[in-house]
Amino acid sequence: NSFDFDKVIEKIKRTNLNIKGIFETNNIEEKILFFEKRILEENFWKDKILSQKILKEKNFFEDIQKNYLESKK
């Protein structure tokens, strides 16, 4: 069994392109800003279930953004 580095490199390139496309087409930065504004609203913490959902989504998009930026290095 030999290891095919060319196939691995090609797969990494495709994955990076997919991440880039996801990042750009879904306006990740805008979504993060939207969630940050929601968190700052006066009544944000009154609905615990909704606030947890928003925090979870914000963290999800921040992770996507972080991974995308790290992949560009």
CA pair distance 14, 58, nearest whole angstrom: 26
CA pair distance 50, 54, nearest whole angstrom: 6
DSSP 9: H
Which pLDDT score is estimated for 38?
92
R_g of the chain, CA atoms, integer Å: 17
CA pair distance 31, 27, nearest whole angstrom: 6
pLDDT in tens, the chain (73 residues): 456 767 766 666 666 555 555 555 568 888 899 999 999 999 999 999 999 999 999 998 888 888 878 877 7
